[in-house]
Structure 1
């Protein structure tokens, strides 16, 4: 018994009223109870460490991953705009809504980084293409792939790169040259890996010289299995006269404005007839990704925290049963039920507080290490890290309620008779 407590009891004996315990005495007794069994206290604290640490790690990693996902979404999807152009019905004498030169007007819009026009049709969607003119019996004579025509700015519009050779230019377009560029998958299927010897492809009874292979598509991946012709050659040889799609890449944040202006620039007076495919609102997408990921990991963290709370409750209850004699002695010396309950509540709260501090520290460290290993920007809510010790203390407090109440209900005589 501490000196302070003895002084309080002496004051009671002198008629100063009901005994009471100074908060400092309560803290000292609780700390002594925790330190009296260091191994058990450490193992009990470990449950809270795991719970708080898991909660901080999961929320931190979720926020970091969501930020990375949204960042990639911003870079690839939020800057892509497509304009679909309806084709005139067969036999119609009406002029095309969009001409090949309309792409130049789109490029002049503020916020546009690149743009290209494409022409495709159902008639050229499945064409038998061969890489040689000789048809040997019993062998596969070719591959079925799409044939399209496009402007010379297509590589930039699909964010692709030339893996071999070159793309056709304005000179090829002006000469109506019978040249073609293959998508990387189409070149692989046809067995063409080197264009320096000017290989040719054959389809629809015509030959075309392959001058390049385009790969690395970040947009319009289906073009990787296509034969791409200059617009003049496509119109002369395959009937691809009309623009069917316009691909536009914009600066970040300019997609909405460009999506509104592009139809007007492409077809003045008929912009309403064009269909614009623009990216969704980024703020809603970001909130949706973060909300879904955070919700999943919060559930996992709370489950771990509940496991830690159950561990504290079990160990505190065992501690109460082992200290029955001590409880009886304290009650016999004048300690009230409230003081006994307060002591065990303080012990469990102390364990939870220590677990919260250690768990939050480890959680922040793990989040930073994971972000560093992945070369991500760590996203941490410091309110969570600072509130984690309080959450750990609350978990310890709640976990110790039942054991504390059980200790407080013990009668001094019964407790003293029980074996310690």
Structure 2
């Protein structure tokens, strides 16, 4: 009686079917048995061969052990990636912080300032000046306007002889050549100034045509006037004007610090200074563009296109410009450092492969596949790059914060940058380990075992 093996049926070798490979052999024909020519059934022998398989946790453990086996070498290899990632983080972080700081200062001083230049009325028109003194009040009612003032000046009053007394004696140098302007009562707020002493004239002084004057702080210093409690007077164009205040701390139109400022009615009566030439407008943050578009219509409803508006540029463009300039300056350094780090990782990984040829041959002889060998060394280089990215990101963020604190800035840190830096380091390590890992995978077990250790 024939057995299963004799009949060519499948032999059970106790192997898990999920990890087995079926190999078919040639069919066997039975010869004549007991003197009679009898052909048996065609049989097929199947052999099950175990496929080598490695748990990902074991692969990670082997890769980590390879990195920690030579800690000094691994640390020096990681240093290149650390420098590259640190440089990139510092570059982008400092650029963002500096750009935000510069734009912040730009916001405080310029981004809320709008100026309207008023030309002379076109020839042949009898409508009078394009803008009258009441136009400033119309602009002040616009949404977003915080302060507004109208100013009148001319070439004839740009250099007027002003004296602190009316006594003229030989060799007297008390007189000064100063500019004389007329302005509406909102001038101190419009130029972001403060009254150093005394007060600014009001609508009552304007309505009564009071001969009063306000001096810029430098003009008062040139004329030797420090206090206004005793009602000092200045003399210009043969008329005396009582000084009721000194305006200081001017941030806009700083040339007014050396000027004599008169009420519009008195300036028109005495100096023929009546035409509004400029309107200074301060807005809340973000409203400058809107106010710049509405102010000409509010000032000159019939001729808005005749006025020239000076508005601040777009803040987003300024921020992007600053960041792009700084990034372009330092980004190349970070990329060069990353390339150097990648070369270092590739070099050290290749040296490690050559040093561990015997280990590779032994693993291959015990059943490790080429993919597993390549994966181990690729994971080692990726781990080194990942560690460099983590350390570099931490150092870069620390430097950005320290620079911001030293400069008294507000640090600007992008969360995507902090999370992306370790990923970038891992990618650098992955790319750097491609060639060494492929070379390790190509080693044949016999050649690797025969190689000198």
TM-score, normalized by length of structure 1? 0.79
**2:146 corresponds to 1:113:** yes
| Whole-Å separation in 2 of the counterparts to 1:115 and 1:268 | 18
Q: Which residue is equivalent to 2:133?
A: 100
Could you tell me how far 1:57 is from its partner in structure 2? 3.4
Q: Which residue is equivalent to 1:231?
A: 264
| Whole-Å separation in 2 of the counterparts to 1:372 and 1:292 | 22
Q: How many residues align?
A: 408
Contact preservation (8 Å) 2:95, 2:322: no
Change (3 A) 1:362 1:27: same
Q: Which residue is equivalent to 1:172?
A: 205
Contact preservation (8 Å) 1:63, 1:294: no
- Structure number with greater Rg is 2
Alignment counterpart, residue 433 of structure 2, candidates 400, 403, 408 = 400
Q: How does 1:297-376 map to 2 (within 5 A)?
A: 298-323=331-356, 326-327=359-360, 338-368=371-401, 370-371=403-404
Could you tell me how far 1:17 is from its partner in structure 2? 6.7
Alignment counterpart, residue 60 of structure 1, candidates 93, 116, 121 = 93
Change (3 A) 1:233 1:307: farther
Q: How does 1:4-19 map to 2 (within 5 A)?
A: 16=49
User: 380-389 or 242-251, which moves further after superposition?
Assistant: 380-389
Alignment root-mean-square deviation, CA: 3.8
Q: How does 1:82-97 map to 2 (within 5 A)?
A: 82-88=115-121, 95-97=128-130
Alignment counterpart, residue 39 of structure 1, candidates 58, 65, 72 = 72
- For the residue of structure 1 that corresponds to 2:111, the secondary structure is coil
- For the residue of structure 2 that corresponds to 1:182, the secondary structure is strand
| Whole-Å separation in 2 of the counterparts to 1:347 and 1:135 | 95
| Whole-Å separation in 2 of the counterparts to 1:114 and 1:163 | 19
- For the residue of structure 2 that corresponds to 1:393, the secondary structure is helix
Q: Which residue is equivalent to 1:7?
A: none
Change (3 A) 1:291 1:135: farther
1:99-125, Cα deviation, whole Å (9 max, x unpaired): 222222222333322111101112223
**2:195 corresponds to 1:162:** yes
User: 25-34 or 69-78, which moves further after superposition?
Assistant: 69-78
Change (3 A) 1:196 1:311: farther
Q: How does 1:180-199 map to 2 (within 5 A)?
A: 180-189=213-222, 192-199=225-232
Contact preservation (8 Å) 2:174, 2:223: no
| Whole-Å separation in 2 of the counterparts to 1:56 and 1:334 | 44
Contact preservation (8 Å) 1:55, 1:305: no
Q: Which residue is equivalent to 1:24?
A: 57
| Whole-Å separation in 2 of the counterparts to 1:120 and 1:71 | 32
Q: Which residue is equivalent to 1:4?
A: none
User: 264-273 or 316-325, which moves further after superposition?
Assistant: 316-325
Change (3 A) 1:329 1:126: farther
**2:404 corresponds to 1:382:** no
Change (3 A) 1:145 1:301: farther
| Whole-Å separation in 2 of the counterparts to 1:295 and 1:144 | 50
1:371-403, Cα deviation, whole Å (9 max, x unpaired): 566665544332222222221110111222344
Q: Which residue is equivalent to 2:275?
A: 242
Indicate the structure whose relative CO is greater, using CA pairs within 8 Å and at least 6 residues apart. Answer: 1
Could you tell me how far 1:347 is from its partner in structure 2? 1.3
User: 35-44 or 251-260, which moves further after superposition?
Assistant: 251-260
| Whole-Å separation in 2 of the counterparts to 1:129 and 1:60 | 55
Could you tell me how far 1:156 is from its partner in structure 2? 0.8
| Whole-Å separation in 1 of the counterparts to 2:209 and 2:123 | 25
User: 115-124 or 196-205, which moves further after superposition?
Assistant: 196-205
Q: Which residue is equivalent to 1:216?
A: 249
- For the residue of structure 1 that corresponds to 2:375, the secondary structure is helix
Contact preservation (8 Å) 1:357, 1:388: yes
- For the residue of structure 2 that corresponds to 1:147, the secondary structure is strand
1:289-342, Cα deviation, whole Å (9 max, x unpaired): 555555555444434433433333343344445545555665676656554443
| Whole-Å separation in 1 of the counterparts to 2:90 and 2:305 | 50
| Whole-Å separation in 2 of the counterparts to 1:74 and 1:405 | 56
| Whole-Å separation in 2 of the counterparts to 1:323 and 1:128 | 94
| Whole-Å separation in 1 of the counterparts to 2:341 and 2:217 | 55
**2:183 corresponds to 1:147:** no
Contact preservation (8 Å) 1:106, 1:266: yes
| Whole-Å separation in 2 of the counterparts to 1:222 and 1:410 | 82
Contact preservation (8 Å) 2:198, 2:244: yes
